[in-house]
Amino acid sequence: MNVVLITPTPPDINAFGIRSISSVLKKAGFATRIIFMPGGIELFRFDASYIYQYSKKTLAQIAGICSDAHLIGVSFMSQYFDRALQITEYLKSQFDTPIIWGGTHPTHRSLQCLEYCDIVCIGEGEYAVVELSDKILKGEDYTNIKSCWFKVDGKIKKNEQGPIIQNLDQMPYVDYDLEDHYVFEPKSEDIICIDNDVMKEQFVKIPYFNNRNLITYRTMTSRGCPHRCSYCASSAMKQLRRRTVDNVIDELEKILCQFSYIELISFFDDTYFAAPVEYFEEFRDKYKRKIGLPFHAQCSPTTVNKEKMDLLVDAGLYHTEMGIQSGSDRIKKMYRRPESNQKVIDTAGLIDGYRSKMLPPYYHVILDNPWETKTDVLETLRLILMLPGKFKLSISSLSLFPGTELNEKACKEGILKDEIEEVCRKPFTFPKGTYLNYLIYLSGFSIIPRWFLRLLSRDLFVNIFHASKEKRLYGFLFFLSDKLRVATRGVKALLRGDIGRITNYFKRYTSTRGRSLHGR
């Protein structure tokens, strides 16, 4: 039996969920094919609101790969709804093959999704998809499978959600076999086979010292998160479970044997630092001895301490990211992020203490909260300006993802009226063009004096400029500043002869086909 798994993704093709489902299916004896559909970003747009549109040529190639499939799975997050829908509608026009949707969006909007597909998987899907495949192969009724909802003769059959996977060590490693793996190439609009050379280009490249970008393997050592953030779309699968150190090390050894060009490891857990000190003691010793590559990991203010930092930096940690989100106590309470501003400052100071061995950290900030006041945004800016040392900001525009507390609140209060338009098609990496948003953006650049930003954040300037209706101007300034930043990096790369960094940027951000929402 052949199962084809399709996933619209960001520019990278890590796709942990679909790779895990494929590996479990293979272990159970089924043949799988994976089609990765990474999306490009229109390089010269600062108004990024558009519907991603695949060409008929691309859709026909996907259908060709699916022509003998017994089951087709499409996994996606809310921001890729349009892409999943285009693929599904085309396949349904060609075949009668059952199509199952999974991922965070189908988990939280199951009834909506069943308007377009035949089956929806809720939560973790590995064993549900194996059971479904087995019953299809045997010609048995499969409409009683836990964690799946079905559309049968125009009616919806809802089954209870099955238990989550507790022992992650029993799971096979995610599927990087490459055989029958395909990837969408945006420039040519072709679906191409992935071999070792193609995979080398597809692995993400992460900044390292001396402005070098290193080929990076991303993995997750856990599932779930210790936090219960009200903006997080994964709230239904939050119970924290962790793989053993030996299991993680064994995976990395196998990957490095298969892909000898990997230069860096990224632990992509929601909060890697949530593990206890004892875990990192074992990890430090085994990782240094058996792997020895620099690595990146994410943290939160309440999970970092000096003992963990000492162990991880000794093991090879060279960069970390930390969620700050807001400097307003009122908004932090809304986000269910109770740490005080002083705790954030203290943790940032601890991280800055390792600046001789680490790159400046990234701090994550959320803007465009509809419940925020001007005062709330100012408190966020003032917190950022109090953070010690050099750092960079990762700024996002708040998305009210389905399944989150904030989505429910916005729906009840009438703030969110059209979820497809206002969430699924929302460019969450592009904050609104406002004066304070732009000052926050500038505060992530160490070359801009903080005294100057403090001056610009005084009431006199805020009262004049933040109320300005010329929001497209600030949007253009965001766009222009970002492109100047990229151009500066490009010039530096050119001066040191690093042509590969420039070509990789243009490959990754190739202009893609799209229809402007404003032109509909």
Residues in the chain: 520
Q: Are 312 and 284 in contact (CB under 8 A)?
A: yes
Enumerate residues 6+ apart whose C-beta is below 8 A from 189: 54, 55, 57, 58, 513
The pLDDT of 180-198, averaged and rounded, is 95
Predicted confidence band of residue 420 (pLDDT cuts 50, 70, 90): very high
Predicted confidence band of residue 32 (pLDDT cuts 50, 70, 90): very high
Q: What is the pLDDT of residues 254-266, one digit of tens each?
A: 999 999 999 999 9
Distance, CA of 194 to CA of 185 (rounded, Å): 11
Q: φ, ψ for residue 377 (rounded to 5)? A: -65, -40
Enumerate residues 6+ apart whose C-beta is below 8 A from 115: none
| Cα 484 to the center of its chain, rounded Å | 25
Res 505: pLDDT: 52
Q: Going from the N-terminus, what domains does the chain have, and what CATH number goes with each?
A: 2-168 (3.40.50.280), 203-468 (3.80.30.20)
Give the sign of the dihedral formed by CA 223, CA 228, CA 231, CA 237.
positive
Res 43 pLDDT > 50: no
Q: Which of 10-14, 103-107, 144-148 has the lowest mean pLDDT?
A: 10-14
Enumerate residues 6+ apart whose C-beta is below 8 A from 399: 78, 79, 231, 423, 426, 428
Q: Give 423's DSSP letter.
A: I
Q: φ, ψ for residue 165 (rounded to 5)? A: -75, 120
Strand 222-223, strand 71-75: pairing? unpaired
Distance, CA of 20 to CA of 172 (rounded, Å): 8
Distance, CA of 129 to CA of 17 (rounded, Å): 12
| Cα 332 to the center of its chain, rounded Å | 22
Res 520 pLDDT > 60: no
Res 161: pLDDT: 93
Residue with tokens 């993400």: 204
Q: What is the pLDDT of residues 49-69, one digit of tens each?
A: 557 789 999 999 999 999 999
Predicted confidence band of residue 41 (pLDDT cuts 50, 70, 90): very low
Res 494 pLDDT > 80: no
Extended strands (E) in 440-501: none
- Please give the mean pLDDT across all residues of the chain: 90
Res 486 pLDDT > 80: no
Res 412 pLDDT > 70: yes
pLDDT above 70: percentage of residues in the chain: 87
Q: Are 478 and 395 in contact (CB under 8 A)?
A: no
Nearest in space to 324 (alpha carbons), one of 454, 161, 444: 444
The pLDDT of 170-186, averaged and rounded, is 96
Q: What is the pLDDT of residues 366-401, one digit of tens each?
A: 999 999 999 999 999 999 999 999 999 999 999 999
